[in-house]
Structure 1
Amino acid sequence: MLPATPGNSKDETQETSFSRQGSLRKVVLTQQVHKENLFGRQNEDLNKFYKSVHQEYIVLAEYQMLQSENLPGIYVIPSRKSCLNWFGVIFVRSGLYEDGVFRFNIVLPDTFPDGGHPKVVFQSEIIHPVIHNSTNELHLLDGFPIWDKREHHIWQVLKYIHWIFYNFNSSLAHAINKEAVILYKENHDEYTKKLKDLIKINEQHFYDLPETEDKHYLIFEPYDPQLHDTIREKFLLLPEDKKTKISGYSWVNRGGYNSLMRPNHLENVQDNS
């Protein structure tokens, strides 16, 4: 809702029609100061309103952008209470972390898209070389040494999250959790056992009711054959052109994270999606 535009309100009418008391110069001066303060507050409120709407538009654009990327097993959604806080969960389907389900939050700076790196904090029990042991925060500095709002986007952070689970050995070079690295290198079996125990703990609490009342919190329910088998069969019977497809190019060079970087041989290709 836009702030109200100042007009000739009842209070102002009364202020200009009251009987003179004391110096006229004093009365006029007081009225002028009052109007200047009023317009000053209005400009400040409009500026805050514009910044808020502009920021929400940018966040919405980020969310729409990541929907066009192929991010298997990752689900995210901005909080209903604040567009700067996102709920996320990743289902790991292969590799050392297979069967792991890990919840995380993405916290954007108050001045987003300015303000530097987003913050990714895992809510689930986890052990990983690039996740701080005490805070469960993902170490992003090696993946994104300098956060540039013109080149970096939230979907790239999600791809980095995906990468650390499916390219574990390569992620060791980015390690911030030295204890995890030592345990993995010196006692691989113990690391694996500890990891599997944490995965089991997360599985046991995956369907717990959330501590937050935010309606955008990602909630899952156990598979019910009587309910979900019917839905699954209907989906499988749909014609291929009715099923959701991902088409077009992401324009990201292999091995990089910068968007809109078309390979040389595709410079003249038009995206018809």
Structure 2
Amino acid sequence: MEKNEYALDYILQAEYNLLRKQFIPGIIVIPSGKSNLIWNGVHFISQGPYEGGVFRFSILIPNTFPDGDCPQVYFSPSVYHPQINAQTGELDIKRYFPVWKRNGHHLWQVLRYIRRIFQKIEITNAINLDAAQLYEHDPGAFLLKVSECVNQSKDNIYIPDSLTSDDPHAIVFSPWNERLQAVQQHLLTGTKQAFDNIQGLSWMKPGVYQILTREDTLTSHQN
């Protein structure tokens, strides 16, 4: 049975608040602007065989959450990994959450599991048999495949994800801009020239820490 829409919104907001209190290095995630049942994420991997990889993923939450089935996780594009379906990009999350338990399981634990699969490769009951067999019998060939996957993720970082291209909360990246480099340098040295002629939205409202503050609410940088 589907939950009341407002009750589900409250539950998901509570889940997101719990997530914000966790320390999960290398992962950023934000609820979709199209549906609160979809969360967009990116995993930046800093160590291990997948080091340097930048992998996009989506968490699909059932409308019966937190009762019923567990959420689904899809990587887009798919990642070469024993526990990820090579065609669909779906992570075999049920090997870790065979039954989703209300009050016992939370979405931040899903993120920890996503991080874990790239740190500790497990091939038991693998969903990608080719990757599992290479990992077990020809580690060198497996690492070569992984390296190709990592390099491809870097090449695709500036290409919009087809699954979230129309999502206002999609996580997008832009190539480095020399003008931004100058701003960064001023920020690091503590000078105020960095803010000259800059218009638009600020990441933080000074003294309030409110993200995406309107420009007209900011205090003057000339003071």
* TM superposition score category, shorter chain reference: 0.7 to 0.9
Shift of 1:59: 0.7
Q: Which residue of 1 aligns with 2:55?
A: 102
Shift of 1:83: 0.2
Percent of residue pairs identical: 37
Q: What's the CA shift string for 1:35-62, capped at 9, x where partnerless?
A: xxxxxxxxxxxxx9x8101101111111
Higher normalized helix content (fraction of residues): 1
Normalising to structure 1: TM-score of the pair?
0.64
Q: What's the CA shift string for 1:161-210, capped at 9, x where partnerless?
A: 00111122xx2346332221111122222211112112222211210134
Return the letter of the residue paired with 1:180: A
* Contact 2:78 2:87 (8 Å CA) reproduced: no
Q: 1:205 aligns with which of 156, 170, 175?
A: 156
Judging changes above 3 Å, is the alpha-carbon distance between structure 1 residues 217 and 144 closer, same or farther for their aligned structure 2 residues? Answer: same
C-alpha distance in 2, partners of 1:205/1:236? 33
Judging changes above 3 Å, is the alpha-carbon distance between structure 1 residues 57 and 226 closer, same or farther for their aligned structure 2 residues? Answer: same
C-alpha distance in 2, partners of 1:121/1:179? 19
Q: Which residue of 2 aligns with 1:67?
A: 20
* Contact 1:125 1:201 (8 Å CA) reproduced: no
Higher normalized strand content (fraction of residues): 2
Larger CA deviation: 89-98 vs 205-214: 205-214
Q: What's the CA shift string for 1:103-159, capped at 9, x where partnerless?
A: 111000122222211000111241111112332211112211211021100000000
C-alpha distance in 2, partners of 1:236/1:116? 51
Q: Note if 1:189 corresponds to 2:145.
A: no
Q: 1:129 aligns with which of 64, 75, 82?
A: 82
C-alpha distance in 2, partners of 1:92/1:75? 12
Q: 2:118 aligns with which of 165, 168, 174?
A: 165
Q: CA RMSD in A?
A: 2.3
Structure of larger gyration radius:
1
Segments of 4+ moved more than 6 angstroms: none
C-alpha distance in 2, partners of 1:92/1:106? 18
Q: Which residue of 1 aligns with 2:221?
A: none
Q: What's the CA shift string for 1:45-83, capped at 9, x where partnerless?
A: xxx9x8101101111111111111111110111111100
Q: 1:80 aligns with which of 33, 52, 55?
A: 33
Normalising to structure 2: TM-score of the pair?
0.77
